[in-house]
Amino acid sequence: MVSREKLKRDLRREALSRLEDAARTVTDFENLSREYDKLDKLRERRERRNEILTQEIQRRNEKSRRGNIHFREKPVISDTVIPPPINNMWWRQLMRGDFIDCIYDCPFEIDELTSNKAVSKQLKILDDSRKEILYYRIIKDYPTQRIAEIREQSDRNIRKIYSGAIKKIRNQANRNT
């Protein structure tokens, strides 16, 4: 059985396509533009809500995992008191001599952090702004709002650049393999 929501969605889509087909004058195109603007605002709100909910779920998962030992949160167990910065995973890697991740902890050398040669090649040819966005989003796990603040851009623009870069890398990597 078809749900009521799906029927409403199909009716709206059909009405919009009729508006597109019937647009002949400037006012018709302005009305069509307003409809597209409304749809765009709705989509942006849904995306933001989805990101906020995803972040909230991740925070809750982090809280519930505190009892379990997670790779990145594994505490250092010793008899001495260790200052908080040294208790960080990054510092512990340095102290063990495993400093490759620390050396390549730079947005512009993100291609060095993957072992897949096709992906590494695609990352290497990306421009610096895309590399920086991928680095902050994937490696540092920053939300798009924070990246937008860092780069002084809109979060919508960051999401668009991020999804385009990921799509381009996947397409090129799949062609090369």
Q: Within this chain, do residues 170 and 114 fall inside the same structural domain, yes or no?
A: yes
Specify the pTM: 0.46
Could you tell me the residue range of the domain that residue 124 belongs to?
Answer: 104-176
DSSP type of residue 172? H
Average the pLDDT over 17-23 and give the result: 84
Residue 81, domain member (yes or no): no
Q: Within this chain, do residues 108 and 172 fall inside the same structural domain, yes or no?
A: yes
Q: Within this chain, do residues 55 and 109 fall inside the same structural domain, yes or no?
A: no
pLDDT at position 162 is 92
158, pLDDT greater than 90: yes
pLDDT at position 26 is 87
Q: Within this chain, do residues 108 and 168 fall inside the same structural domain, yes or no?
A: yes
Residue 11, domain member (yes or no): yes
pLDDT tens digits for range 38-83: 888 888 888 888 888 787 777 776 665 555 444 444 444 444 555 5
pLDDT tens digits for range 81-140: 555 566 666 677 777 777 666 676 777 778 877 788 888 888 888 888 898 898 888 888
Residue 86, domain member (yes or no): no
Residue 47, domain member (yes or no): yes
Average the pLDDT over 18-24 and give the result: 84
Residue 85, domain member (yes or no): no
Domain count of the fold of the chain? 2
DSSP letters, 17-74, are HHHHHH--SHHHHHHHHHHHHHHHHHHHHHHHHHHHHHHHHHHHHHHHHTTSPPGGGP
Q: Pick the last residue of a domain from 12, 37, 65.
A: 65
Residue 113, domain member (yes or no): yes
Q: Within this chain, do residues 112 and 169 fall inside the same structural domain, yes or no?
A: yes
Query: Residue 122 sits in a domain of what CATH number?
Result: 1.10.10
pLDDT at position 83 is 59
Residue 165, domain member (yes or no): yes
Q: How many Å apart are CA 76 and CA 149, to the nearest integer?
A: 33
Residue 12, domain member (yes or no): yes
